[in-house]
Amino acid sequence: MSNEIKVSIRNLYKIFGTNPKAMMEHVRSGVGKPELLEKYGHVLGLQDINVDIREGEITVIMGLSGSGKSTLIRHLNRLIDPTAGEVIVNGEDVLAYSESRLAELRQNTMSMVFQKFALFPHQTVLANAGMSRRVRGESSEIADTEGQKWLERVGLKGYGGHYPGQLSGGMQQRVGIARALSSDSEIMLMDEAFSALDPLIRTDMQDLLLELQRELRKTIIFITHDLDEALKLADHLVILKDGAVIQQGEPQEILLNPNDDYIIDFISDINRARVLRVRSIMEVTNAPGVNVAGDVSPMQNLESVIAMSEGDTNLNYRVMEDGTQVGLLHMRDLVKALVPVEAADPARRAASAA
């Protein structure tokens, strides 16, 4: 996986209202979202966003309704222009793009998968899947070939002649993903792409996305309000509240070391054993260890190790990767990691009770 920064968001602000530029002085002097609305009649959509999105990774931007996540993703392809700041894509500031250059960005560099599918109801599934190619002016033959290829990859072989209304919601979203992939764009924007689906179908779509990503290594920016989904998909997780970044980083690190009460509350109901991985709590060592009961993988979740150990906290496991020991997992450390931060921190628990 490359460490190259594909998209860089720098000092990004968005203020909605009649005179947003004039409001920047107030926001930079410390006026928050509630006060800006009450006193000045403007809405603070985004506040000093700084995020680097790396090539070949899934960056998940999450938060509750009104946190600014959908506003943020629409800045990347300039469906929304910021009040201040920069959006750098492949080293170029897209805010400086002409209309023609911006159209090229949307057609060739970035594809988008929407929550509500956004399929053309009077076009066949195949026509929808190859639509990005047609918009670029490529031949129907190329569009159909690419569309068919990706329909098959997302499990819709044989459905090309159907119409969207004849498909289930999950199948329609597969068409949306096929359309995005057929464009062969470097970057995929996915705005609440699975939130309209039933839970079981949603899980299937998450698994499909991860399966495709293991092969394609696209740069994906995924918006969600669901923490379980974010933790499952994200290489890099960005958590927003009231238009500002509260914490960002590797999801396992955020789960183990939340830096804000908002995030602590957010993660309080997570099944930590199912989400946390061995690599996050293991001791990095090649020492043989004692009471070693077997071998585990760095990517195994803790739930699977608990089942292996049958609850014996005196055991240790060698952590093996590609035939080489990379660490030791101590069951006592595993048990400690399962305790939520609030419960593990008596001072915070006492303060909350007071």
Instruction: Provide, rounded to the nearest whole percent, the portion of the chain with pLDDT above 90.
Output: 67
Token look-up 């999801």 returns 251
- pLDDT above 60 for 99: yes
CA atoms of 268 and 234, how far apart (whole Å): 19
Rounded alpha-carbon distances, angstroms, from residue 239 to 77, 110, 181 = 20, 23, 27
> Looking at per-residue confidence, does 115 or 178 come out higher?
178
Close Cβ partners of 276 (under 8 Å, ≥ 6 residues apart):
252, 255, 256, 301, 302, 337, 338
Within 13 A of 61's CA, how many CA atoms are on the CB side? 31
- pLDDT above 90 for 328: yes
- pLDDT above 70 for 345: no
- pLDDT above 90 for 354: no
Instruction: Provide, rounded to the nearest whole percent, the portion of the chain with pLDDT above 70.
Output: 95
CA-CA-CA-CA torsion for 175, 176, 177, 181, nearest 10 degrees? 100
Per residue in 238-274, pLDDT (tens digit) is 999 999 999 999 999 999 899 888 898 888 888 889 8
Q: Tokens representing 308?
A: 């292996």
What is the reported pLDDT for 353?
46
What is the reported pLDDT for 22?
95
Q: How confident is the model at residue 284 (pLDDT cuts 50, 70, 90)?
A: very high
- pLDDT above 70 for 177: yes
Task: Say if residues 316 and 330 touch (Cβ distance below 8 Å).
Answer: yes
CA atoms of 71 and 14, how far apart (whole Å): 8
What is the reported pLDDT for 343?
43
Q: 110: which strand partners?
A: 187
What is the reported pLDDT for 341?
64
Domains of the chain, earliest start first:
53-266 (3.40.50.300), 275-337 (3.90.1280.20)
Close Cβ partners of 12 (under 8 Å, ≥ 6 residues apart):
46, 48, 49, 50, 72, 75, 82, 84, 85, 86, 87
Which helix (H) or strand (E) element contains residue 215?
Answer: helix 199-216
Task: Say if residues 181 and 104 touch (Cβ distance below 8 Å).
Answer: no
Q: How confident is the model at residue 137 (pLDDT cuts 50, 70, 90)?
A: confident
Per residue in 291-311, pLDDT (tens digit) is 899 999 999 999 999 999 998
What is the reported pLDDT for 342?
58
What is the reported pLDDT for 304?
94
CA atoms of 267 and 10, how far apart (whole Å): 27
- The pTM of this model reads 0.85
Q: 10: which strand partners?
A: 86
Token look-up 């060698």 returns 318
Q: How confident is the model at residue 289 (pLDDT cuts 50, 70, 90)?
A: confident
**Position 236: which residue type?**
H
What is the reported pLDDT for 93?
94
- pLDDT above 70 for 351: no
220: helix, strand or coil: strand
- pLDDT above 70 for 16: yes
Best CA proximity match to 305, nearest among 319, 324, 288: 319
CB atoms within 10 A of CB 292: 13
Task: Say if residues 122 and 163 touch (Cβ distance below 8 Å).
Answer: yes
CA atoms of 219 and 233, how far apart (whole Å): 13
- pLDDT above 80 for 117: no
User: What is the DSSP annotation of 308-348?
Assistant: HHTT-TT-EEEEEETTEEEEEEEHHHHHHHTS-HHHH-HHH
- State the average pLDDT over residues 9-23: 96
Report the residue count for the chain: 354
- The pairing of beta strand 187-191 with beta strand 219-224: parallel
Q: Tokens representing 203?
A: 């899980």
DSSP single-letter state for residue 166: G
